[in-house]
Amino acid sequence: MEWKQRHILDLDTWDRSELQYILEQTRSMDELLDRPIKKVPALRGKLVVNLFFEPSTRTRVSFELAEKFLSADVVNWSAPNSSTEKGETLRDTAWTLEAMGADAVVIRHGAVGAADYLARKLKKSVVFNGGDGAHAHPTQALLDLYTAWRKLGVLEGRKMAIIGDVLHSRVARSNIIAFNRMGVRVVLSGPPTLMPKIPEALGATFTKDPVDAVRDADIVYLLRIQRERQIEGMFPSLDEYHQFFGVDDRLLGSASPDALVMHPGPINRRVEIASEVADGPRSMILGQVRSGVALRMALLFVCLGGVRQ
């Protein structure tokens, strides 16, 4: 197929054929990770800059590994040690990077729309959104989609329960879009104070009862609870959250017997997830980490290195 996405900013405009194509490309990259020598010359001579204004482990490291496995030259630009500390604007930082010859920029930023802004300012560089505010985290959603597809096969007609702080979650929004486009029914659950007012607008339904959400689900997806939300009074306590919405073996018993447990990380044990679930046989958390490298390799390849027809 002809690849039409120049930048990877969000998934709003993606159709099912594009999602399916990236899943298949990711599977090819996944096979490379099992080789004794993982490096291939697909992006030799390309320069990728990782521009992170927020802390990150999984997204930053997996992008860096993906870039290096494809033989790209990599620069990690740390905002606290850069001219942004002296007042340099994002626009001027972007122009500086492009003037240095960056073929692609991976950006994580706390402001909604930062990646889109960067894409509009840069004339040549491809922009990959590593998370912008509470808006979108497209590569996380795509790696989650790939993880589920690889394990379950056909996704059409499946049920996915997303439990936790949906209101502030860029991961939840992108996942709802991606899984919904692949025919998955998405049900949300969590404290009403942590839910968007009209989840149906996102393509999902809401229930206050996590048992109803998890019942017969094929995928149980847990969102990290940000401890500052408890300080803000959006739910009474972390212990009470775990009692009502934390997924343990008891709650997981309502799901499909082969249900996958997923979490974007980092996990809070005994808050959104019990240790017996996080470390149990249905946990895909470490599988998601591996998928993140393969998925980002696939995106870098199709956007920078050419597309297999």
Written as one letter, the residue type at 95 is: W
Tokens of 92: 């001027």
Cα–chain-centroid distance for residue 244? 26
Write down the pLDDT at residue 79: 64
Write down the pLDDT at residue 302: 96
Assess whether 180 and 118 both reside in one domain. Answer: no
88-142: per-residue pLDDT in tens? 788 888 888 889 999 999 999 999 999 999 999 999 999 999 999 999 999 999 9
Assess whether 186 and 228 both reside in one domain. Answer: yes
Tokens of 178: 């991606």
> Is pLDDT of 291 > 80?
yes
Beta bridge partners of 162: 188, 221
Is the residue at 11 inside a domain? no
Percentage of residues of the chain with pLDDT beyond 70: 94
More confident residue, 89 or 184: 184
Measured distance CA(32)–CA(36) in Å, rounded: 9
Instruction: State phi, psi for 61 to the nearest 5 degrees.
Output: -70, -40
261-289: per-residue pLDDT in tens? 999 999 999 999 999 999 999 999 999 99
Assess whether 85 and 157 both reside in one domain. Answer: no
Assess whether 169 and 247 both reside in one domain. Answer: yes
Assess whether 33 and 104 both reside in one domain. Answer: yes
Write down the pLDDT at residue 88: 76
Answer yes or no: are the C-beta atoms of 203 and 263 closer than 8 Å: no
> Is pLDDT of 230 > 70?
no
Task: Give the Cβ contact number of residue 244 at 10 Å.
Answer: 15
Is the residue at 196 inside a domain? yes
> Is pLDDT of 81 > 60?
no
The DSSP string of the chain is: -----SSBS-STT--HHHHHHHHHHHHHHHHHTTSSS----TTTT-EEEEEESS--SHHHHHHHHHHHHTT-EEEEEEGGGSGGGGT--HHHHHHHHHHTT-SEEEEEESSTTHHHHHHHH-SS-EEEEEEETTTB-HHHHHHHHHHHHHHHS--TT-EEEEES--TT-HHHHHHHHHHHHTT-EEEEES-GGGS-S-GGGGT-EE-S-HHHHHTT-SEEEEPPPPHHHHHTTSSS-HHHHHHHH-B-HHHHTTS-TT-EEE--S---BTTTB-HHHHTSTTB-HHHHHHHHHHHHHHHHIIIII----
Average pLDDT, the chain: 92
Write down the pLDDT at residue 306: 57
Kindly indicate the confidence band of residue 150, based on its pLDDT and cuts at 50, 70 and 90.
very high
Tokens of 148: 């589920």
Domain range holding 300? Answer: 16-136+289-305
Assess whether 159 and 118 both reside in one domain. Answer: no
> Is pLDDT of 80 > 80?
no
Is the residue at 4 inside a domain? no
Measured distance CA(43)–CA(48) in Å, rounded: 10
Assess whether 149 and 84 both reside in one domain. Answer: no
| Cis previous bond, 266, omega within 30 | yes
Global pTM reads 0.94
36-63: per-residue pLDDT in tens? 999 999 999 999 999 999 989 999 999 9
Tokens of 201: 């607008």
Assess whether 227 and 153 both reside in one domain. Answer: yes
Write down the pLDDT at residue 307: 47
Answer yes or no: are the C-beta atoms of 76 and 50 closer than 8 Å: yes
Write down the pLDDT at residue 276: 97
Residue 164 vs residues 92, 176, 183, 191: alpha-carbon distances, Å: 37, 13, 22, 7
Is the residue at 115 inside a domain? yes
Write down the pLDDT at residue 198: 77
Assess whether 80 and 121 both reside in one domain. Answer: yes
Measured distance CA(23)–CA(160) in Å, rounded: 18
